[in-house]
Amino acid sequence: MSKGQPLNRHTSTGKIPEVEKWFRAAIKAQASDLHLKVGMPPKMRIHSKLKNTTGEVLTEARAEELIFELMSPAQKEFFLDNGALDFAYQVGKMDRFRINAFRQRGCISLAARHISGDIPPFESLHVPPVVEKIAEYHDGMILVTGPTGCGKSTTIASMIDHVNRTRACHIVTIEDPIEFLHVDNKAIVSQREIGIDVPNYDDALRSLMRQDPDVVLVGEMRDNETLTAAMRAAETGHLVFGTLHANNASQTIQRILDLFPQEERDLARQTFALTIRAVISQQLLPGIKPEAKRIPAIEILIRTPIIRKLISEGREGDIPSAIRAGSSEGMQDFTDSLQKLVMEEWIDLKVGLEYAPNVEELKMALKGIRTSTSGIL
């Protein structure tokens, strides 16, 4: 659970929090994350690796002073009662930090993810061209999945930005907290932050249809109530974006079904097969080109008649073969993606083999050989 924070750089005393200097240093160093922990100096994650700063070793009192200064009295009370707090902090006009303050070994710690105010275009993200086409769907559900820190939020932000620039519609986002700020363009964008604009996801989803949305972003599919509301919106002609922690398309389906009680899973499966339009699963890999120090490997599933049939019949085991057979539809698996990244010299071969779901299959793909895709109908 979390309790959000308005976009206000100043504390209740009117002063800029001292820890902002570390946020600005992280921005300057192009760090993705900043960590504050008792017993060590502040650390930054730069190009996927944690690095020490020249800052002081934090005592328990000093860490509390720095972190509590970021919180309102209500947020501090929430943290002391619950041991964790999610909120966002704005630096200047263009940069935000998604912050999690948490208690560990009895001490306070902070992990802050830098979210640039500049929403990157698809080209700079190095995602396949089909991602832009997926963003142009007018209904159904699109899920972006992957582990924490894999760039899910950035990919969805770029897709929402594409809709904003190209379609006259109403986009409603439900986020905890808001990460990227969208400025109205061809579309109207209404961004609702949990804890600030609405108490919780349930209330936000309950009132969603009264807000006349065309496109909806649900920050995270975290329970069956959220997923049910998202699928209901997709069933009634809305385009719904969401994220989920899953490593690939097959695991995404299983994770979704696991959110439902056993007696509801058959109906959930059929509804999901009807409403899902695409699953984009990604991992961030270390790159070897100066312009791409981190680059995504991406699996893409698109709901074709075959994919819908496999989901409806509970044949998740056949989905990888169907993805490989669906390249003409824009689908690709992680092996396809890794092969392209290695061949085009975006990543080192050793990195490709390290992240490959099947090392031998990737080696064969690099030689121009893929396993058979027959027998999936």
Where are the chain's structural domains?
20-116, 122-366
DSSP state letters, 71-109: S-HHHHHHHHHHSEEEEEEEETTTEEEEEEEEEETTEEE
Say yes or no to pLDDT of 375 above 90.
no
pLDDT score, position 163: 98
| Rounded Cα gap, residues 15 and 65, in angstroms | 14
| pLDDT single digits (tens) 307-338 | 999 999 999 999 999 999 999 999 999 999 99
Give residue 264's pLDDT band: very low, low, confident or very high (50, 70, 90).
very high
CATH code, 122-366: 3.40.50.300
Q: Tell me what percent of the residues of the chain surpass a pLDDT of 90.
A: 79
Average pLDDT, the chain: 91
pLDDT score, position 268: 95
| Rounded Cα gap, residues 364 and 289, in angstroms | 25
| Rounded Cα gap, residues 138 and 238, in angstroms | 7
Q: Please list, in sequence order, all residues whose beta carbon lies within 8 angstroms of the beta carbon of residue 171, skipping any fewer than 6 positions away.
A: 160, 163, 164, 182, 187, 188, 189, 190, 213, 214, 215, 216, 217
Measure the CA angle with vertex 108, ends 106 and 114; round to 5°: 150
pLDDT score, position 371: 59
| pLDDT single digits (tens) 171-220 | 999 998 788 889 999 999 999 988 779 988 989 999 999 999 999 999 88
Are 20-116 and 122-366 equal in CATH topology?
no
| Rounded Cα gap, residues 52 and 368, in angstroms | 43
pLDDT score, position 229: 92
Tokens representing 162? Answer: 């594409």
pLDDT score, position 181: 86
For 357, the 3-state DSSP assignment is: coil
Say yes or no to pLDDT of 143 above 90.
yes
Between 114 and 3, name the one with better pLDDT. Answer: 114
What's at 209, amino acid-wise? Answer: M
What's at 198, amino acid-wise? Answer: V
Give residue 47's pLDDT band: very low, low, confident or very high (50, 70, 90).
confident
Say yes or no to pLDDT of 53 above 90.
yes
pLDDT score, position 179: 80
Cis peptide before 357 (omega within 30 of 0): no
Q: Does domain 20-116 have CATH number 1.10.150.120?
A: no
Q: Report whether 242 contacts 216 (CB < 8 A).
A: no
pLDDT score, position 376: 58
Q: Report whether 249 contacts 301 (CB < 8 A).
A: yes
Q: Which of 75-84, 89-98, 292-301, 357-366 has the lowest mean pLDDT?
A: 89-98
Give residue 136's pLDDT band: very low, low, confident or very high (50, 70, 90).
very high
Give residue 94's pLDDT band: very low, low, confident or very high (50, 70, 90).
confident
